[in-house]
A and B are shown apart, each in its own frame.
Chain A
Amino acid sequence: MAKVQVNNVVVLDNPSPFYNPFQFEITFECIEDLSEDLEWKIIYVGSAESEEYDQVLDSVLVGPVPAGRHMFVFQADAPNPGLIPDADAVGVTVVLITCTYRGQEFIRVGYYVNNEYTETELRENPPVKPDFSKLQRNILASNPRVTRFHINWEDNSEKLEDAESSNQNLQSLLSTDALPSASKGWSTSENSLNVMLESHMDCM
């Protein structure tokens, strides 16, 4: 069984201007002392169309991790707007938090992110060249999508056969029917992302 369980992720400073750093407060629990550090990554999906626009915002080692419940804040700089296709600057995309142990990814937490202009004028007439400084980033914190993978936690041996490789197709997150096996969350199935997002945004 997994030695590390993520109990909670709190999205801090949300919503916030586009250039503000991402902040996630992560609470996790470990059932026994880990001999190696955990590696956490924040990946910003620049465009739903292609993986090539994915940006690893930062990666951080977390350790030492004794048995118990722990928390930390993972802060990472905002994505480089130069790497984001203009067409995808405004609208919904995804930010991923992944954690790996011994190079094996065992959990992936995905959030929908909506970038939009706050000013009505801009909203109605978006400039052709996006003005990132005017964009507001809104992470749909209430609806994390958690995917867990079985990995080999032991020091010794070979990887488990069913362990998913870490370079999972990120795009699959956006199309719910192509989910990796261990999905727990992403169950909104055929719901159109936008419909869902809008309903949530209304709540906010």
Chain B
Amino acid sequence: MKLLKPTWVNHNGKPIFSVDIHPDGTKFATGGQGQDSGKVVIWNMAPVLKEEDEKNENIPKMLCQMDNHLACVNCVRWSNNGVYLASGGDDKLIMVWKRAAYIGPSTVFGSSSKLANVEQWRCVSILRNHSGDVMDVAWSPHDAWLASCSVDNTVVIWNAVKFPEILATLKGHSGLVKGLTWDPVGKYIASQADDRSLKVWRTMDWQLETSITKPFDECGGTTHVLRLSWSPDGHYLVSAHAMNNSGPTAQIIERDGWKTNMDFVGHRKAVTVVKFNPKIFKKKQKNGSSTKSSCPYCCCAVGSKDRSLSVWLTCLKRPLVVIHELFDKSIMDISWTLNGLGILVCSMDGSVAFLDFSQDELGDPLSEEEKSNIHQSTYGKSLAIMTEAQLSTTIIENPEMLKYQQRQQQQQMEQKNSAIRDVTGAATAAPKVASMVNGESLEDIRKNLLKKQVETRTADGRRRITPLCIAQLDTGDFSTAFFNSIPISGSLAGSMMSSQSSQQLVSLESNATNSLNTSKPSIEPTAASIKPTDDAANKDGVNATSASAAPPASSSVLTTPSKIEPMKAFDSRFTERSKATSGTAVVTNANQTAIDRLKDQNLIKENKPKDILESSSDSEEKIPIAKPLSIPKRKLELEGETVEKKKKGRPRKDSRLVPVTLTVQSPAALASEKDAICISAPALALKLPTPIPQKSFTLQVSSDPSMYIEVENEMTTVGGSKLSRLKCNREGKEWETVLTSRILTAAGSCDIVSVACEKRTLSVFSACGRRLLPPIMLHSPISTLHCTGPYIMALTTAATLSVWDVHKQLAVVKDESLQILLSGSDATVSQILLTQHGIPVMSMSDGKAYCFNPSLSTWNLVSDKQDLLAQCADFRNSLPSQEAMLCSGPLAVIQGRTSNSGRQAARLFSMPHLVQQETTLAYLENQIAAALTLQSSHEYRHWLLIYARYLVNEGFEYRLRELCKDLLGPVHYSAGSQWESTVVGLRKRELLKELLPVIGQNLRFQRLFTEYQEQLDILRDK
């Protein structure tokens, strides 16, 4: 063992209260008293480790000092990933620091020392909550939480991915809380306080697991800190200051039953700090003599007020080493290097000591994998995510991987550099960095700053200068983390949706395709009628308002109006909705205009007060009257009868069902006169409303190219029969045609226009107005019509659905009944979509969405808003940073892109890790399967990458291998192979190429990486 006291590590003689070594071992932080404030200093580790570095004047010793704390700093702690440094002090604050990338070395202006801050650390968060001095802070093993404790008797758990959110405040101590430690597997956190107790809290619900008081009964007096520690294998928790037979001890508390049978004895005064070595050790194998495989053991350093330090191995009964009189005052903090061979100790006397052990003295450290295995076998879970620091100890086994890693680092550097240029667009004082602002060098700017700067006079005649912003703060990482974890709800979701809809609009316009509608299934009818919309003239404005006006919760919107409005209005609303879902977002606003016109013409009733429908029987009787003429008279009568019958024979509830269900009426009498059967199979004959014929209406198909359809019914009379005119305007070019029957509804895409007429015919025209097919006869009247690309979807009143591909002259879906979706539940269809690949999708009012898989002829559940999986899944770590919110497609539309990730952030943390992993996996797999079924290649790729990233992060090698295997396929062609080289239009091997870098991020998978990289190379060479 070597001992060193680097005298240059000091706070000008002021006490040092805390020390912590950075996880990468290159630097360490000290915290304590400054001149007239608290002080945090970051030091270079190299001069401590090597004498030549200490003597080399070119190697900086102090890297950065921060005196932003107003009062003494009691604790400094690096996050496990090394990105952040948290400091807590007597000013009641916790500050979280992050290294600022864009600024080079600089001095503290006017500082007497003239010492450059080699690194710039910037405070990115200030956490204010404690009402007293903060005594200790601790990052959870995964850096998801930051805990702090204070003399205000509380422990606060902060959400480290979303500062300054507080997840929990742990109350229970009745004295100053002076120490914190996390259980290495993340299940508990322990705190020790002046109230002579040590409390263990569960992270699942942040409740007290146990309070241990016995060993502390005799404790008198106070120690400045009580830094306790948990052993890396999780078995033992060791307290600071405890008493046994009136001698000061460090109490060992067993995790199993929280037994307190052992302690570390020997210090003459109170123990202030206990710190376990992060490594688990095993006995060094003596060559020759094969010792029986000894138990792994831990190593622990204990510091005391008696100014001495002792180091213990849990396999020895006596301390490994005791160093007396190491300092002039009490020991305040201890920190181990990550390799477990060195410790830094700091003291109230303002000095620091470094102890360097050899492996012979401590033993062989277990690898992270072995450690993880111990956790796995003991607790059923481990912290499989490797931290960067841990990665650095893993040996790279082949040159390919090494190259890849280097390339990646280089890329990161480049990204960083380009970020410096692009994002901040910033100039720095550092001469070496290219300092440019808007293409101008800082020097140029400075020359002309006086002339260029904007100077105005305030109202009272004072000069006011607008400063030139030369750099923004580079807190980017934080904000993305924040962004990913925003629980989206309420107005926020609304605004996001509207912005996304416009985004999608742009893409639609550029693609000129009629892809799916945005997340708005419909414009809320009431909103539409209340808000008088202007004419088609300012469509854009209308679109914007309607988008933001449409509340995100579509299902509820749809059912309510159906309850409160008379059926007549209801019919028209259905028309509106069917159109609303028929195409782009732009369509919706056109509908609105159409609706407004409708309203002007005959349906001002929409504005009727809600209570109109209080007596449901009234409105029910209106149904037949309001029914369009196309319904045979016999039916009308039958329906009337049924309604009346129901009123008599059935309970009230059932009779209400008719108006309540929006799109499904069940004139069950058609099937049978018997009520019994009606009840047992109410959905046997589903009946959807059909649009009523209107004199004329307009429908916008797309805005770029601008395309809209005008329909004018019964405009001319030729020889006694009336003609209807269909007019289509596409970018100023018009075509028109006439039909002999009244047009009920129309739909269009950029490729085709189709109209459904009263006589149950469906006509299809090309984009230029050429008739493509003789009228198609529908077996029952049309209810909803949609066009997307070359596909037409027709939903008839008999609740059957057909999709045709006009170009290929194919039936994609043939008269498929919606019964299985609608029967047995009160749910109604709230939205119908047709994807670009001709896949029909039904969103139901109960939040479920189904799509029809033509090849299997099945309806598949692709989305469920109430799905517990979706709410519990947590894959934020696996989200690609920028893409996260940008993936758009049918699946996103259906699921309303509520981005469940993080929505339940608070809750999911309390779930057992294993369960959470499973739910996340299940959810991601569901998403991939759904995207596949919807043939949405973009989304398939998106979710596949997230899935792969999650597998990589969580260390699921088995599934990852299966995934890769499927994507690679057989390397050698064989006739019997069933393997398809593409999936939803994507080449599988290209996908694999995309996955490999993701896999390469975790060195644990380097063999997998190499294996597939090589096979891909072979394939490419062939």
Contact = CB atoms under 8 A, between A and B. Distances in A.
A20 interface: no
A91 interface: no
B449 A25 contact: yes
A172 interface: no
Interface stretch (A82-90, A126-134, A182-190, A194-202): A182-190
Interface string A91-116: 00000000000000000010000000
B112 interface: yes
B971 interface: no
Interface string A1-32: 11001111110100000000001010110010
Interface stretch (A47-55, A117-125, A142-150): A142-150
A73 B122 CA distance: 25
Contacts of A74: 465
Interface in A20-65: 23, 25, 27-28, 31, 37, 58-65
A66 B450 contact: no
Interface of A: 1-2, 5-10, 12, 23, 25, 27-28, 31, 37, 58-75, 109, 144-146, 150, 181-182, 184-185, 187
A2 B682 CA distance: 71
A2 B122 CA distance: 12
A40 B135 CA distance: 38
Nearest to A30: B473
Contacts of B449: 25, 71-73
B471 interface: yes
B1022 interface: no
Contacts, number: 104
Given A1-B126, A60-B465, A63-B466, A68 B471 contact: yes
A30 to B, nearest CB: 9
B464 A62 contact: yes
Nearest to B35: A184
Contact of A1 (B69, B453, B466): B69
B469 A66 contact: yes
B467 A62 contact: yes
Interface string B599-620: 0000000000000000000000
A2 B108 CA distance: 14
Contacts of A9: 109
B466 A64 contact: yes
Contact of B458 (A61, A64, A73): A61
B123 interface: yes
Contacts of B101: none
Given A23-B450, A25-B449, A150-B70, A184 B111 contact: yes
A58 B95 CA distance: 37
B467 A146 contact: no
Nearest to A110: B110
Given A37-B464, A62-B467, A72-B449, 18 more contacts: A6-B110, A7-B109, A8-B106, A10-B446, A31-B473, A58-B463, A60-B463, A61-B458, A65-B467, A68-B470, A70-B470, A73-B453, A109-B109, A109-B110, A145-B110, A182-B36, A184-B111, A185-B111
Nearest to A70: B467
18 contacts: A1-B69, A1-B95, A2-B68, A6-B110, A7-B429, A25-B449, A31-B122, A59-B463, A60-B464, A62-B466, A63-B464, A67-B473, A69-B471, A70-B469, A72-B453, A144-B109, A185-B111, A185-B112
Interface of B: 35-36, 68-70, 93, 95, 106, 108-112, 122-123, 126, 426, 429, 446, 449-450, 453, 458, 462-473
A122 B769 CA distance: 99
Contacts of A181: 36
Contacts of B473: 31, 67-68
Contacts of B463: 58-61
Contact of B123 (A1, A27, A59, A66): A1
A116 to B, nearest CB: 25
Contacts of A5: 109
B163 to A, nearest CB: 13
A67 B473 CA distance: 7
Nearest to A72: B467
Nearest to A13: B450
Contacts of B93: 1
Contacts of B69: 1
A144 B108 CA distance: 12
A199 to B, nearest CB: 16
A63 B108 CA distance: 23
Contacts of B458: 61
A61 B462 contact: yes
A200 to B, nearest CB: 14
A contact patch SS? strand
A1 B68 CA distance: 5
User: Of B109, B112, B449, B469, which is in contact with the most chain A CB atoms at under 10 Å from its CB?
Assistant: B109
- List 6 tightest A-B contacts by C-beta distance, closest first: A146-B110, A70-B467, A1-B68, A69-B471, A61-B464, A73-B450
Nearest to A65: B467
A69 B469 contact: yes
Contacts of A59: 462-463
A178 B570 CA distance: 84
B472 A68 contact: yes
A50 B30 CA distance: 44
B628 to A, nearest CB: 60
Contacts of A75: 450
B90 to A, nearest CB: 13
Contacts of A145: 110
Contact of B109 (A8, A58, A67): A8
A67 B111 CA distance: 23
A29 B59 CA distance: 28
A63 B70 CA distance: 26
B110 A184 contact: yes
Contacts of B68: 1-2
Contact of B112 (A63, A182, A184): A184
Contacts of B465: 60-62, 72, 74
A8 B429 contact: yes
Contacts of A58: 463
A172 B235 CA distance: 61
Contacts of A72: 449, 453, 465-468
A37 B456 CA distance: 13
A112 B227 CA distance: 49
Contacts of B450: 12, 23, 73, 75
User: Of B35, B36, B426, which is in contact with the most chain A CB atoms at under 10 Å from its CB?
Assistant: B36
A66 B466 CA distance: 11
A71 B112 contact: no
Contacts of A67: 472-473
A70 B468 contact: yes
Nearest to B38: A1
Contact of B446 (A25, A66, A144, A184): A25
B219 to A, nearest CB: 35
Nearest to B124: A31
A185 B453 contact: no
A62 B466 CA distance: 6
Nearest to B458: A61
A119 to B, nearest CB: 30
A6 B466 contact: no
Contact of A6 (B36, B70, B109, B429): B109
Nearest to B475: A67
Given A1-B95, A25-B446, A31-B473, A69 B426 contact: yes
Contacts of B110: 6, 109, 144-146, 184-185
A70 B110 CA distance: 18
A187 B426 CA distance: 34
B106 A7 contact: yes
Nearest to B111: A184
Contacts of A2: 68
Contacts of A65: 467
Contacts of A7: 106, 109, 429
A32 to B, nearest CB: 9
Contacts of B429: 7-8, 27
A71 B468 contact: yes
